[in-house]
Amino acid sequence: MPVFTSSADFRAVLTDLPPPYDTALSAAEARNGRLTKPQGALGRLEMLAIWYAGWQGTPAITRPQIVVYAGNHGVAANGISAFPPEVTAQMVANFAAGGAAINQLAREGGATLDVISLDLDRPTADFTQGPAMTEEDLVSALSAGWESVDPQADVFIAGEMGIGNTTVAAAIAAALLGGGAEAWIGRGTGLDDAGLARKRAAVEAGLRRHAATLGDPLEVLRCLGGREVAAMTGAIARARVERIPVILDGFICCAAALVLQRLNEGGLDHAVAGHLSEETAHRRLLTALGKEPILSLGLRLGEGSGAALALPVLKAAVACLSGMATFGEAGVTEG
């Protein structure tokens, strides 16, 4: 049975989200100020470590979790992807066999990796013709994401696999942030000019058809989204309730996160941006979320790969805060 019986249940969860631990934040800031280094010498590592300590209390990362969500999209029938929809299931099999990039990155980062397929044999409806999901579909996907989070995890990363989901993400961003299709579409996995034009037309058609929903983030997610996107929204929300820090991945993950931010202005305080992807509008979306990426490596893969690459950076930041000696502990004279 789904965790939520309606989208109203999910909205209710977001009305009273826990803040970071004030005592842990203050202790981390104080310790950082006494470490054997010039003030600010570790740059953003210092801010990352303090942010992490505020959510987890004890500054140590030992149980990172990555979950990749897979879904298929009816809008793909409009020729908006360079790959056919059957690639989604084929890549899920590749994940299971350990052959994808995210398998290698999860192992190198010491993270567990789970893959959740969401009705791959039943694509969402084509959002140019009607709502992508029913209320039941939306609630089921939000619940699947929510349930997938390990409450004992100390970092969470949501990845995705779904042919056509950059189109879905562009539609969600355009619906919630404005600017029209042109501001948000990109070439995804490698569209040519004709494919890009079809993608633009599909997003524009979706925005016109669902214009009445644009003021409601969950309705935008239902009408223009996908099961894997909704699952990421549910998972990131569960991580907030459990005070688990989140590293956001690329454009699609950030579109899922945008829904939370629009439902609760502080709903992403527990999240940092892992990277800036090559998807055209990702920088614009990160700016809207108020997130500065940790890395910028020209990635455009998805799967949680950029966030997984940022995980060792966060681990290093936390290790410095917890492992470095203070001036007093080391017997070093302060400047």
Among candidates 170, 117, 105, which has minimal Cα distance to 148?
A: 117
State how beta strands 271-273 and 112-117 pair: unpaired
Q: Which residue has the tokens 């929510």?
A: 146
- Is 219 one of the annotated active-site residues of the chain? no
Extract the tokens encoding 268. Answer: 């992403």
DSSP letters spanning 104-171: HHHHHHT-EEEEEE--TTSPPP-TTTS-SS-HHHHHHHHHHHHHHS-TT-SEEEEEEE-TTHHHHHHH
Distances 243 to 135, 178, 239, 293 between C-alpha atoms, Å: 28, 31, 6, 21
Check 160, 182, 303, 334 and give the catalytic one. 303
Extract the tokens encoding 150. Answer: 């390990």
Q: Which residue has the tokens 């990421």?
A: 232
Q: Is the separation of the CB atoms in 278 and 307 below 8 Å?
A: no
What is the distance between the alpha carbons of residues 22 and 217, in angstroms, rounded to a whole number? 30
Note the Cα 220 to chain centre separation in Å. 17
Residue type, 18: P
| 306-329 burial: b if 16+ Cβ within 10 Å, else e | bbbbbbbbbbebbbbbeebeeeee
Cite the active site residues. 303
